[in-house]
Amino acid sequence: MNKLLTILTVIASLSLASATLKAETLTFTGTAPASCTFSGTSPGTLSNTSSAVFSTGQAGTTVTNNSAAAYTLDVAAVSSFSSAPSGATMSGAASITTTLVGANAATDTSAAAQQFSLTTAGVDTVAIDINSATVTPTVLAGAYAIEVVLTCSSV
């Protein structure tokens, strides 16, 4: 008799427990693709000597990449003005200093193309200085502009 009572009580308890354990999990899934973007790009300023132009204010931009070692930041060599007085041309390539501050801190000075490995996902502030761009035959009066092209390239 007592045994029957115990068994039935246990059955009743288990049944009660299962009645209150009603739960479900809703799941959301998705994949964020790798990306490398530029933002907050600002122009620099140029000044000159009699034979060259150089920057007195840095141009800047912010590079945000979200995948470690998936991209390089490429800075193209510059061998011509995007605008200049008629008859003034760039002699050779401009010497450029590129400085990254942030997730992938680095600096490079060169007249050749530069490449930075974005080994860490994150944000980098990029500053561009034109050290010198020699003008042939001489610096003529007028407006000069130099465009430095930065590219995120997939590794």
Partner 1 sequence: MAYKLLVIVVLLIASAAQTSACTFSSNNNGLLKANPAFGFVYSNNPASVIITTVVSSTLIVDPVSSFADAPSGVALTQPILFSGVLGGFPLEGSPSAGYTVVIEEPGNYILNLSVDRAWISPTIIAGNYTVQSNIHCNPN
Neighbour-count burial of 148, counting CB atoms closer than 10 A to its CB (0-12 exposed, 13-18 middle, 19+ buried): buried
CB of 155 to partner 1, least distance (A): 13
Q: Which stretch binds partner 1 (CB under 8 A): 44-52, 54-62, 116-124, 134-142?
A: 116-124
Q: Which stretch binds partner 1 (CB under 8 A): 60-68, 77-85, 126-134, 138-146?
A: 60-68
| C-alpha neighbours within 13 Å on the C-beta side of residue 11 | 6
Which two three-digit tokens encode residue 71? 């991209």
CB of 103 to partner 1, least distance (A): 9
Site for partner 1 in 84-113 (CB under 8 A): none
Q: Quote the CA–CA distance of 72 and 114 in Å, as a whole number.
A: 10
Establish if 8 lies at the interface with partner 1 (CB under 8 A). yes
C-beta of residue 112 within 8 angstroms of C-beta of residue 151: no
Q: Judged by CB under 8 A, which of 1, 86, 141, 154 binds partner 1? A: 1
Q: Judged by CB under 8 A, which of 53, 55, 59, 64 binds partner 1? A: 64
Which H, E and C letters describe 104-151, residue by residue? CCEEEEECCCEEEEECCCEEEEEEEEEEEEEEECCCCCCCCECCCCEE
Q: How many residues bind partner 1 (CB under 8 A)?
A: 33
Q: Residues in the site for partner 1, rule: CB under 8 A?
A: 1, 4-5, 8-9, 11-12, 15-16, 19-20, 22-35, 37, 64, 66-67, 70, 121-123
